[in-house]
Amino acid sequence: MNVERLLVVSPNWLGDAVMALPAIGDLRRHFPHSRLLVAARKSVAGLFSMTPLADEVVVLEWPGRLWARAQRHADITKLRSLRADVSVVLPNSFASAWMVKRAGIRERWGYAADLRDRLLSRAVPRPAIRVHQSEYYRRLMKGLNIENGSVSPELVVSTHSLSEARTLLASNGWDGSRSLVVMAPGAAYGGAKRWPSDHFADVALQMIRHQQVSCVLIGSSADAATTSQVRALVPDDARAQVIDLAGSTSLDTLAGVLRLASACVSNDSGAMHLAGAVGVPLAALFGPTRERETAPLSGVGGRTDVLINHVWCRPCMLRECPLDHRCMTGLSPDRVIRAVTNLMTNPEPRIPNSGPRAPDPGSRAPDPESRIPSHE
């Protein structure tokens, strides 16, 4: 099939978009001479400017709600102007398939989900069992007779992003010589995914005093209250070495900050997935969510330690804990400190990057548009 212009509609959450990169890489290799266009919401569009897979990134504004007519019309007009031969629709939503059909794109490929079979020209049955989210997208490629390649996400942090990151850190007190440990204490969709702020503060304090590092708190503007609380919990004598950048970074500058870091500690969030893709040594903290489905992928040279407190009630997938949040409170700061120290000093990966873990036997397939999102 001759495909001159190939459009990929991105997932709407940062974590899901990162986990879709291997599948987009499959498309890139299968259509090496096509112009690959990615349409993405503003919150994730910057990710695709950091990957060599995309030739052009188109920013979408429509949130998928019927009453947002002006944004819907603008996006449809924008997609129609791309003159794409094929669109691969990665979100499961009815709205995403409806939009590309209204844009007049003749070939529309995606999963048969959300009653949208008739909107797609090729509708692939969804996996019958739960799989890692990256594998979920890769199985769509298999269903389209597109060969799967590497599971590592392809991201490139530019020298400009690194320079911007250094400038931002310096303006917030970094002396340029201390090693950086990045922490992402936020998480949207309720507090169940968040490791306690006092635990983050304890790790920051011990790393500052005993490892002579500077700690950098990251997150969106919505996480600012959490990062501010973590910083306030660090004693006065160490607080100068805690830099709060929540709400102050674009995606590419955030990637630069992560690339400069010696390690990262993160809840299950979009920042966690970006850190993994960038390749920073990563301690990923999982509470109510399923690590077998959303554990971070590691970029080239990266290594990850997924930390879990195994209790009977997890993974519950609830936004707020109705009990005592034991899946997170029982994960001790000492354990996280040991993991981070090992990641900073051990040159060998603790978990080889051989791909996502196997699914739980007999479990059902995930729905990326209805579960707790990875992106925050």
Q: What is the mean pLDDT of residues 204-214?
A: 96
Q: Taking 70 as the threshold, does the pLDDT of residue 170 lie above it?
A: yes
Are 199 and 117 within one domain? no
220 to each of 133, 249, 368, how far by Cα in Å?
23, 8, 21
| DSSP state letter for 202 | H
What local confidence, expressed as pLDDT, does residue 65 receive? Answer: 79
Whether 152 is in a domain gets the answer: no
Whether 9 is in a domain gets the answer: yes
Are 132 and 68 within one domain? yes
Token pair 């304890």 is found at 202
User: 348, 332, 351, 246: which is closest to 292 by C-alpha?
Assistant: 351
Are 194 and 267 within one domain? yes
Are 189 and 127 within one domain? no
Please enumerate in sequence order all residues whose Cβ is within 8 A of that of 50, keeping only pairs 6 or more positions apart, or say none: 155, 156, 157, 158, 161, 251, 252, 255
**Backbone phi, then psi, for 216, in 5-degree steps?**
-115, 120
Of residues 353 and 51, more confidence is placed in: 51
- Cβ 212 vs Cβ 341: under 8 Å: no
Q: Taking 80 as the threshold, does the pLDDT of residue 301 lie above it?
A: no
The number of C-alpha atoms within 13 Å of 297 and in the hemisphere containing its C-beta is: 27
Whether 249 is in a domain gets the answer: yes
Are 118 and 259 within one domain? no
Q: What is the mean pLDDT of residues 30-43?
A: 96
- Cβ 294 vs Cβ 132: under 8 Å: yes
Q: What is the mean pLDDT of residues 94-106?
A: 95
What local confidence, expressed as pLDDT, does residue 364 receive? Answer: 37
Q: What is the mean pLDDT of residues 225-235?
A: 97
Among 103, 118, 143, the domain-final residue is 143
- The CATH number that applies at residue 299 is 3.40.50.2000
- Split into its structural domains, the chain has a count of 2
What local confidence, expressed as pLDDT, does residue 354 receive? Answer: 35
d(CA 51, CA 7): 15
Look up residue 97 and give its two tokens. Answer: 């398939």
Are 169 and 139 within one domain? no
Whether 151 is in a domain gets the answer: no
What local confidence, expressed as pLDDT, does residue 347 receive? Answer: 55
Are 124 and 28 within one domain? yes
94 to each of 71, 118, 129, 132, how far by Cα in Å?
17, 10, 22, 22
Burial 214-251 (b: 16+ CB within 10 A, else e): bbbbbbbeebbebbeebbebbeeebbebbbbbbebbeb
d(CA 43, CA 285): 23
Q: What is the mean pLDDT of residues 304-317?
A: 96
Give the Cα-Cα-Cα angle 65, 67, 71 (nearest 5 degrees): 75
Burial 107-136 (b: 16+ CB within 10 A, else e): bbbbbbbbebeebbeebbebbeebbbbbbb
Are 274 and 335 within one domain? yes
Among 143, 170, 198, the domain-final residue is 143
Among 119, 143, 167, the domain-final residue is 143
Percent of the chain exceeding pLDDT 90 equals: 85
- Cβ 256 vs Cβ 156: under 8 Å: no
Are 139 and 216 within one domain? no
Are 284 and 320 within one domain? yes
Are 183 and 317 within one domain? yes
Whether 300 is in a domain gets the answer: yes
Q: What is the pLDDT of residues 264-285, one digit of tens each?
A: 999 999 999 999 999 999 999 9
User: 53, 35, 40, 52: which is closest to 13 by C-alpha?
Assistant: 40
Q: What is the pLDDT of residues 341-371, one digit of tens each?
A: 999 987 554 433 334 433 333 333 444 433 4
- pLDDT, the chain, mean: 91
What's the domain range around 238?
A: 159-345
Whether 363 is in a domain gets the answer: no
What local confidence, expressed as pLDDT, does residue 355 receive? Answer: 40
Whether 372 is in a domain gets the answer: no
Whether 356 is in a domain gets the answer: no
Are 312 and 237 within one domain? yes
Q: How far apart are the first and last CA of the chain?
A: 38
